[in-house]
Amino acid sequence: MYVNTKDILEKASKEFYAVPAFNINNLEFLIAILEGAVEKNAPVIIETSEGAIKYAGNGDPIRGAKFFVNLVKGYADTLNIPVALHLDHGKNIEYIAAAIKAGYSSVMIDASHEPFEENLKITKEVVKWAHAAGVSVEAELGQLAGIEDNVSAEENVLVDPEQAKIFVEETGVDFLAPAIGTSHGAFKFKGEAKLDFERLEKVKKLTNIPLVLHGASSVPVKYVELAEKYGADLGGAKGVPAEEIKKCVKLGINKVNTDTDLRIAFLAGLRKNLTENVKEFDPRKYFKEGMQFVKDVVMDRLEFLGAAGKA
């Protein structure tokens, strides 16, 4: 069933587990994710960046947002697990408005590159607007390095826990993404992963709302190697080890944004399948292996985040 993201995350926050938020751009990832969540009897959050909405709507945010709401709601309403649809890294007011109007469960307003007061002001506006439409809101404090669609920043700016307390009280935001050292994309960290756990613990204590970990892909070696075996060049790809993410969950992370891992898994399956089946020209056949790998990554993540069985 299609639900509000807040319902999923409040329960997770109370019981100290996390629910993955998987980014999609197309039908194949959506089917693989939802079938993985069904198999694990788990809640799941589907999220689309503004770039995904632009892609699905061929440049029109209203068309793209409606397309995804109908696609996700249509499929989710036939399932017995809670499914939410979230706008990831909302920055462009046109896209945020389109998502709210189309019926997204929640929207992120990402104004974390702005000065604190500006971020607070913009977020407050969006919260008023979204709440009037029954839509929940995520915001971000601090900055992640790395790239993702229209989101890019030179380097990490870690969250200030005291600021987080004020921010949550003043804005009424439903869940918060504190920057604690992760970054977007497949090339995280220069050297070892270093997440600021003490900082995370302080933010949870001071805000006591569901928290979001961005840039949380682990970049599993087996799919990187398989993709490279069939011609990809992902040299130097590195992610956040699952053990580090589990530590974050224990400290109060409840939504874990995962995009890159699904992209790499699908890429590996697609390259392998196309290479091994040179006569195949039915996409329902040559997409299958990539979809299976995406489903495997989804089920593994639902398991280690503690969302399995929580539907």
Ligand X SMILES: O=C(COP(=O)(O)O)NO
- Residue 140 interacting entry, from Ca ion, Na ion, ligand X, none, C-beta within 5 to 8 Å by type: Ca ion
- Residue 216 interacting entry, from ligand X, Zn ion, Ca ion, none, C-beta within 5 to 8 Å by type: ligand X
In SS3 terms, the chain reads as CECCHHHHHHHHHHCCCCEEEEECCCHHHHHHHHHHHHHCCCCEEEEECHHHHHHHCCCCHHHHHHHHHHHHHHHHCCCCCCEEEEEEEECCHHHHHHHHHHCCCEEEECCCCCCHHHHHHHHHHHHHHHHHCCCEEEEEECECEEEECCEEECCCECCCHHHHHHHHHHHCCCEEEECCCCECCCECCCCCCCCCHHHHHHHHHHHCCCEEECCCCCCCHHHHHHHHHCCCCCCCCECCCHHHHHHHHHCCEEEEEECHHHHHHHHHHHHHHHHHCCCCCCHHHHCHHHHHHHHHHHHHHHHHHCCCCCC
State yes or no: residue 244 binds ligand X (CB under 6 A).
no
State yes or no: residue 140 binds Ca ion (CB under 5 A).
yes
Choice between 12 and 291, CB closer to Zn ion? 12
State yes or no: residue 149 binds ligand X (CB under 6 A).
no
Site for ligand X in 8-47 (CB under 6 A): 23
Q: Residue 259 catalytic? A: no
**Which residues on neighbouring strands pair with residue 146, listed in sequence order?**
153
Binding mask of the shown chain, residues 250 to 279, with x at each position contacting Zn ion by CB under 5 A: -------x----------------------
Choice between 42 and 144, CB closer to Ca ion? 144
State yes or no: residue 299 binds Na ion (CB under 5 A).
no
- Residue 112 interacting entry, from ligand X, Ca ion, Na ion, none, C-beta within 5 to 8 Å by type: Ca ion
Site for Ca ion in 67-126 (CB under 5 A): 110, 112
Q: Nearest distance from residue 226's CB to ligand X, in Å?
A: 18
- Residue 258 interacting entry, from Zn ion, ligand X, Na ion, none, C-beta within 5 to 8 Å by type: ligand X
Could you say which of 60, 88, 149, 259 is catalytic? 88
- Residue 171 interacting entry, from Ca ion, ligand X, Na ion, none, C-beta within 5 to 8 Å by type: none
State yes or no: residue 214 binds Zn ion (CB under 5 A).
yes
Q: Which two tokens stand for residue 164?
A: 């987080």
Residue with tokens 């898994």: 265
Q: Nearest distance from residue 257's CB to Zn ion, in Å?
A: 5
Residue ranges that bind Zn ion, judged by CB under 5 A: 214, 257
Could you give the residue numbers annotated as active site?
88
Site for Ca ion, rule CB under 5 A: 110, 112, 140
